[in-house]
Amino acid sequence: MDEIQVVESKPLMADKELQGLREAVQQLVIKEHDVETPHGRIHCTMKGVPKGDRPVILTFHDIGLNHKTCWDTLFNHEDMSEIMQHFAVCHVDAPGQHEGANTFSTGYEYPSMDQLSETLPLVLKHFGLKSVIGMGIGAGAYILTRFALDYPNMVEGLVLININPCAEGWMDWAAHKISGWTHAMPDMIISHLFGKEEIHHNHDLIGTYRHHILNDMNQFNLHLFVKSYESRRDLEIERPVPGSNVRTLKCPSLLVVGDSSPAVEAVVECNTKLDPTKATLLKMADCGGMPQVDQPGKLTEAFKYFIQGMGYMPSASMTRLVRSRTASGSSATSFDGNRSRSHTTEGSRSRSHTAENQRGRSHTDGSMDGTGNSNVDPAVPKSTEVSC
């Protein structure tokens, strides 16, 4: 049964226009849905109303988190208000990870990462959606990537934070099993979510999330989700070369990682496996393992650029990101990536998208530049790397 909630908080701001925008966003209706699938019940929270054939932003969280603890800081940030006026947001919680979830019965077989990705087409069907812009972190990024690989027509773009395209190595698996999951799990999740520097110095942040993991998450259910992520398969994606027909993402992709995140190597590795004309790697300076919590303003700005490159929000305000160029033979940036939306047939819409793309390109090129990938053949387009 759907639960409807209306947020009524009223922020006090000097700028009347921005205040009105934020109040309008905060008045969006929030509806909670339980979507039945062959792999279990998926708890979804829809904020706002889907707008025509425009995609919905669909999020998926990491292990140890639910949609609130993962995304609230980002989507409640004042700079996100503008995006929320243009797009509805569907937050997906993995089975048993949402607030107040019942404990699964003994012997319950938790869905694999592949099976969790198979639930997403049913989520789209439940809400009557044609396509989404996915935003995931860690396990959620893996699930959304698998979804986009299997159902490319349903995914217009992906923002992948801390994506690891590889199966877990034996040493990682052994390290997580040494002292037993009951005692090691909270520490293992903290070391997965945050970098060593954060763990040693940002005691308030780590304490907050450790308390959440221990007290707000259903421990039995969490263990099952962690085990599922640890058992993931390699995504088996490869960078395409002319004349090849390899498995890789077809949609524009923004890969995001903090410079002190434990996931840096995995994200860089993933970037080497994607089409360089459609992928952008964003390394965030002075940022830890959760950019959406650590630097929500910068991530929102990057997200706006990414959306502009897809032909949406051409007049979005940009203030935070600055030019950062390193020696490179590449001048391309994939924030103005190609859009291929077969279901968009309206001539006027196509013309406006063309204009929006052009405007997005000029704005993006004036604000941030791509840096080349030195180990890519000069004849092959270079991937884009952005620092902020």
Tokens 């299997």, residue? 150
Tokens 């459609």, residue? 278
CA distance 267 to 49: 33
Nearest to 197 by CA among 61, 300, 301, 294: 294
Q: Is 210 domain-assigned?
A: yes
pLDDT(337) > 50: no
Give the pLDDT band of residue 107 (cuts 50, 70, 90). confident
Per DSSP, the three-state class of 249 is coil
Q: Is 349 domain-assigned?
A: no
pLDDT(79) > 50: yes
Q: Is 221 domain-assigned?
A: yes
Q: What is the number of domains present in the chain?
A: 1
Residues of the domain holding 268? 23-168+180-316
What pLDDT, on a 0 to 100 scale, did the predictor assign at position 241? 86
Q: What is the pLDDT of residues 350-369, one digit of tens each?
A: 334 444 343 333 333 333 33
Share of the chain above pLDDT 70, in %: 70
Compute how many other C-beta atoms are within 10 angstroms of the C-beta atom of residue 227.
15
Give the pLDDT band of residue 277 (cuts 50, 70, 90). very high
Give the pLDDT band of residue 17 (cuts 50, 70, 90). low
Q: Is 332 domain-assigned?
A: no
CA distance 76 to 196: 27
Better-predicted residue by pLDDT, 340 or 175: 175
Backbone angles phi, psi at 93, to 5 degrees: -105, 135
pLDDT(315) > 90: no
Better-predicted residue by pLDDT, 184 or 60: 60
CA distance 371 to 52: 36
Q: What is the CATH number of the domain that holds 163?
A: 3.40.50.1820
Axis-axis angle for helices 347-367, 296-309 (nearest 10): 130
Q: What is the pLDDT of residues 29-52, one digit of tens each?
A: 889 999 999 998 999 999 999 988
Chain-wide mean pLDDT for the chain? 80
Better-predicted residue by pLDDT, 347 or 139: 139
Q: Write the DSSP symbol of residue 227.
A: H
What pLDDT, on a 0 to 100 scale, did the predictor assign at position 22? 56
3-state SS of the chain: helix, strand, coil percent to 5? 40, 15, 45
- E strand segments, 285-352: none
What pLDDT, on a 0 to 100 scale, did the predictor assign at position 16? 62
Is the Cα torsion angle 134, 367, 265, 195 positive or negative in sign? negative
CA distance 30 to 56: 14
Least confident of 89-103, 122-136, 358-372: 358-372
Q: Is 81 domain-assigned?
A: yes
Q: Which are the contacts of 168, defined by CB distance < 8 A and separation ≥ 6?
A: 230, 231, 232
What pLDDT, on a 0 to 100 scale, did the predictor assign at position 242? 82
CA distance 155 to 134: 7
Given strand 40-47, what is the order of strands in its sheet?
Answer: 3-6, 29-37, 40-47, 89-93, 56-60, 132-137, 155-161, 253-258, 279-284, 384-387
- Calculate the CA dihedral of residues 354, 121, 43, 80 and round it to 10 degrees: -10
pLDDT(108) > 60: yes
Q: Is 127 domain-assigned?
A: yes
Tokens 């759907």, residue? 2
CA distance 201 to 320: 26
Q: Is the separation of the CB atoms in 119 and 35 below 8 Å? A: yes
Q: Is 268 domain-assigned?
A: yes
What pLDDT, on a 0 to 100 scale, did the predictor assign at position 324? 41
Q: Is 339 domain-assigned?
A: no
Q: What is the pLDDT of residues 367-382, one digit of tens each?
A: 333 333 433 344 445 5
